[in-house]
C-alpha cells in the first residue's frame, strides 16, 4: 500500500514483572482495513493491545500512530490522537440509557473525521436504535459490548482496537457485531481485531497476524491464512 500506515509497530516486546510475554512483534495497521490478531489462549493478544495503549510495560523500536510517537505517552493522550480501545470488559454506565451512554462518549475530536452522532451510530448499530431509551443494566452482554464500541466511536477515532468483541455473546448479536465492524470499516475507521473466534475474524478481516506464545508466526492476507490449513491447525487449532 502506498499511503503510510496509521499505526506502525516495530519489534514490540512486553513483560509482566520478569516474565516476558511479547517477543518482537512488528506490524502495521492501514487506514480502512480490518486486521485480525489471532492466537490461542494466552498467546499475547490482549497484551499487544495494552502495550500499544501504554497500559503495560513495553519496548519498541518504533511505535507510531499517524506519525506521532507513542513512546512515553500516557494512555489518555494516545486515545486523544484518535486511537480508540475497547477492552474485553464492557465499559458502559449501567444506570444511564443507551443515548446517555453515547453522549457521555462525546469528547473533543481526536481524529480527523467528521464527528459521530448518536443518530449516525444508530445506522451502524440498528439494534441499539431500537433500545435507545433502555438503561445499560437492562441490556444483554452482547448489547453492552456493542454500546461500548459505539461509545468509543463517539470519541472520533481513526482506528479502534477491539479485544474479543464476539466473546460470550449470543450468535445473533455476533452477526450484528460483524455487520457493525464492516460498516465501521466502510466509514473509514481502521480496526485491529483480537479474536479467538476464528469464523468471526475470518469473515470480516482483510489481513491477519498470528501470534503464538508472544511471537509472530504469520502475517499476510486472510485469504492466504485461510489456505494454510497446516499453520492454522498448529497455531489456532482450527
Ligand X SMILES: Nc1ncnc2c1ncn2[C@@H]1O[C@H](COP(=O)(O)OP(=O)(O)OP(=O)(O)O)[C@@H](O)[C@H]1O
Interface with Mg ion by CB under 5 A: which residues?
45-46
State in angstroms the smallest separation of the CB of 46 from Mg ion. 3
Return all residues near 54 (Cβ < 8 A) that are at least 6 apart. Answer: 70, 72, 73, 74, 75, 78
Instruction: State whether the Cα torsion 43-49-52-56 is positive or negative.
Output: negative
- Contacted entry of ligand X, Mg ion, none for residue 39, CB cut-off 5 to 8 Å set by kind: ligand X
- Contacted entry of ligand X, Mg ion, none for residue 110, CB cut-off 5 to 8 Å set by kind: none
Q: Which one, 13 or 196, has the nearer CB to ligand X?
A: 196
Catalog residues that contact ligand X under the rule CB under 6 A. 16, 19, 21, 39, 41-47, 196
Q: Which one, 44 or 110, has the nearer CB to ligand X?
A: 44
State in angstroms the smallest separation of the CB of 50 from Mg ion. 9
- Contacted entry of ligand X, Mg ion, none for residue 42, CB cut-off 5 to 8 Å set by kind: ligand X
State in angstroms the smallest separation of the CB of 92 from ligand X. 21
Eight-state DSSP code of residue 238: -
CB 147 within 8 A of CB 121: no
Q: Which one, 128 or 177, has the nearer CB to ligand X?
A: 177
Backbone angles phi, psi at 38, to 5 degrees: -120, 160
State in angstroms the smallest separation of the CB of 238 from ligand X. 14
- Contacted entry of Mg ion, ligand X, none for residue 16, CB cut-off 5 to 8 Å set by kind: ligand X
Eight-state DSSP code of residue 158: S
Residues 15, 23: Cα–Cα separation, whole Å: 9
Residues 46, 88: Cα–Cα separation, whole Å: 8
State in angstroms the smallest separation of the CB of 93 from Mg ion. 24
State in angstroms the smallest separation of the CB of 34 from ligand X. 18
Tell me whether residue 132 is exposed, middle or buried, using C-beta atoms within 10 angstroms of its C-beta: 0 to 12, 13 to 18, 19 or more: middle
- Contacted entry of Mg ion, ligand X, none for residue 161, CB cut-off 5 to 8 Å set by kind: none
Beta-strand ranges (E) seen in the chain are: 7-16, 19-29, 34-38, 58-59, 62-65, 68-69, 83-86, 159-163, 190-195, 207-212, 215-221
Closest by alpha carbon to 187, among 61, 84, 42? 84
- Contacted entry of Mg ion, ligand X, none for residue 47, CB cut-off 5 to 8 Å set by kind: ligand X
Amino acid at each position: 500500500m502506498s499511503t503510510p500506515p496509521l499505526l506502525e509497530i516495530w519489534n514490540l516486546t512486553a513483560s509482566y514483572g520478569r516474565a516476558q510475554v511479547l517477543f518482537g512483534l512488528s506490524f502495521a495497521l492501514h487506514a480502512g482495513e480490518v486486521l485480525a490478531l489471532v492466537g490461542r489462549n494466552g498467546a499475547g493478544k490482549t497484551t499487544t493491545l495494552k502495550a500499544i495503549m501504554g497500559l503495560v510495560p513495553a519496548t519498541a523500536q518504533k511505535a507510531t500512530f499517524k506519525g506521532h510517537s507513542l513512546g512515553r505517552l500516557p494512555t489518555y493522550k494516545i486515545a486523544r490522537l484518535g486511537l480508540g480501545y475497547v477492552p474485553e470488559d464492557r465499559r458502559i454506565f449501567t444506570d444511564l440509557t443507551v443515548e446517555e451512554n453515547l453522549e457521555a462518549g462525546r469528547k473533543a475530536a481526536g481524529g480527523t473525521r467528521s464527528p459521530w452522532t448518536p443518530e449516525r451510530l444508530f445506522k451502524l448499530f440498528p439494534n441499539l436504535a431500537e433500545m435507545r431509551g433502555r438503561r445499560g443494566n437492562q441490556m444483554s452482554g452482547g448489547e453492552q459490548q456493542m454500546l461500548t464500541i459505539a461509545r468509543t466511536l463517539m470519541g472520533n477515532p481513526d482506528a479502534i482496537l477491539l479485544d474479543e468483541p464476539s466473546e460470550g455473546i449470543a450468535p445473533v448479536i455476533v452477526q450484528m457485531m460483524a455487520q457493525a465492524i464492516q460498516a465501521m470499516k466502510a466509514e473509514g475507521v481502521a480496526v485491529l481485531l483480537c479474536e479467538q473466534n476464528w469464523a468471526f475474524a475470518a469473515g470480516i478481516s482483510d489481513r491477519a497476524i498470528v501470534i503464538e506464545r508472544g511471537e509472530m508466526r504469520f502475517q499476510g492476507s486472510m485469504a492466504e491464512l485461510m489456505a494454510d490449513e497446516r499453520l492454522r491447525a498448529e497455531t489456532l487449532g482450527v
